[in-house]
Amino acid sequence: MEKILRDPKAILLFVGPALLIYTAILVIPTVWSTVYTFYEGSLISGFEFVGLDNYLHLFKDPDFLTSLGITLKYTVFVSAGQIIFGLGLALLFAFYIKRYSTLIRTLIFFPVVLPAVAVSQLFSKLFEIAPQMGLVNSLLNFLHLDMFIQPWLGQGDTAFWVLIIMDIWKAIGFYAVILFAGLVDIPEDVLEAAKLDGAKGWKLTQFVVLPLLKPVLISSIIFSLNGTLKVFESAVALTNGGPGNSTTTLSIYMYNNAFVYNQYGYGSTVAVFLLIFSLLITLIVYKFARNDAA
């Protein structure tokens, strides 16, 4: 086996197809998009070379800065919610509800496999006010809290928070299962020794479980940050970036510029910025985790 793995032809045979697909669907489009950032126009109107103008305009564009702020705010709340609630569920699965945890994990993971459009339709019905009140407004009416009944998806502030709740709910099962798998790998004798030394409850979690779970936890944070920074389909399906631009994330802003306003160059510039920004965030988290471990 060692001899085969050292053979360049064997390596090419095993790695070649995957590398070819990776290059075709990721590397070439990324390079192509980067080239577009030095032009303005579209396939219909034609392209004109503008050099670095798109990059210089980026941080002078108020709409871009608004979308960046919305994306960062969304990322902070959704990533925090996904990791914190996912960790809480994983701890419950591992230490408190072992007997039925398989069934409960399956039920909680179910929203992860649902299409974003289906989940968005569900939440739009839950928070509906017209032509008939959805479950949330009906419940408020039943509890005689009529002052809180409102068009949740028709107002910028409330629509943003509905989007956050929806995306936390949809992905929480994914992170719960990943973190549960990390908890299962913690040696039982280590936990027993810690309990004999008097570590129980939160102290056991803080000083024993979390340090041993750290590699999986960091990976989960990186997954979550990259997913939330590039959020697109759930926001489009639920609010289409509205009302106004209250839920217009960077991905939606990039899409609108490229495919609605036919500004391929500027849309590609936003996409490249998002790529670099996501990479920087990942490197910062990874470096912080390594320094903390050292």
CATH number of the domain residue 181 falls in: 1.10.3720.10
pLDDT at 16: 81
Alpha helices in 41-100 (DSSP H): 53-58, 62-95
Per the structure, how many domains does the chain have?
1
Q: What is the mean pLDDT of the chain?
A: 88
Q: What is the dihedral of CA 230, 234, 235, 239, to 10 degrees?
A: 170
User: What DSSP string describes 132-157?
Assistant: S--HHHHHHHHTT-GGG---GGGSHH
> Does residue 26 belong to any structural domain of this protein?
no
* CA angle, residues 217, 223, 224, in degrees to nearest 5: 90
- Residue at 182 is within a domain: yes
pLDDT value of residue 9? 75
122-125 contact pairs (CB < 8 A, 24+):
123/162, 123/165, 123/166, 123/238, 124/153, 124/238
52 domain-assigned:
yes
In a domain, 15, yes or no: no
Cα→Cα distances 215→183, 201, 218, 281, Å: 11, 22, 5, 17
Is residue 5 scored above 70 in pLDDT? no
> Residue 4 pLDDT more than 70?
no
Q: How confident is the model at residue 195 (pLDDT cuts 50, 70, 90)?
A: confident
pLDDT of residue 10: 72
In a domain, 9, yes or no: no
Amino acid at site 31 = V
Q: What is the pLDDT of residues 175-185, one digit of tens each?
A: 999 999 998 88
In a domain, 22, yes or no: no
The pLDDT value recorded for residue 269 is: 95
pLDDT value of position 11: 72
- What pairs with residue 26 in β-bridges? none
pLDDT exceeds 80 at position 155: yes
Residue 168 host element (H or E) = helix 156-184
The answer to whether the beta carbons of residues 42 and 262 sit under 8 Å apart is: yes
Kindly state the greatest CA–CA separation across the chain.
76
| Residue 199's pLDDT band (cuts 50, 70, 90) | confident
Interior angle at CA 244, CA 277 and CA 281, nearest 5: 10
| Domain extent for 269 | 37-293
Q: What is the pLDDT of residue 132?
A: 86
Q: Has residue 176 been placed in a domain?
A: yes
If you average pLDDT over residues 162-180, what whole number do you get?
94
Long-range contacts of 276-281 (CB under 8 A, 24+ apart): 277/229, 278/225, 278/226, 278/229, 278/230, 281/225, 281/226, 281/229
Q: What is the DSSP annotation of 6-39?
A: T-HHHHHHHHHHHHHHHIIIIIHHHHHHHHHTTE
pLDDT at 104: 82
**pLDDT single digits (tens) 41-73:** 877 777 889 989 999 999 899 999 999 999 999
pLDDT at 24 (0 to 100)? 87
Residues 6 or more apart whose Cβ sits within 8 Å of residue 288: none
Distances in Å between the Cα of 211 and the Cα atoms of 172, 180, 194, 217 are 21, 14, 13, 9
* N-to-C CA span, the chain: 36
Mean pLDDT of 2-25: 77
pLDDT digits (tens, 9 = 90+) for 106-138: 888 999 999 999 999 999 999 998 888 999 999
Question: For the segment 233-273, what is each residue's pLDDT rounded down to a tens digit?
Answer: 999 999 999 898 999 999 999 999 998 988 999 999 999 99
| Average pLDDT for 230-234 | 93
pLDDT of residue 238: 94
Average pLDDT of 218-223? 92
What is the percent of the chain where pLDDT is above 90? 53
Q: Which residue in 212, 210, 213 sits closest to 202, CA to CA?
A: 210
User: Which residue is it, tokens 């996904």?
Assistant: 82
Residue-level pLDDT at 151? 93
- 294 confidence band (pLDDT: 50, 70, 90): low
Residue 93 has pLDDT above 90, yes or no: no
- Whether 7 has a pLDDT exceeding 80, the answer reads no
- Residue 28 domain flag: no
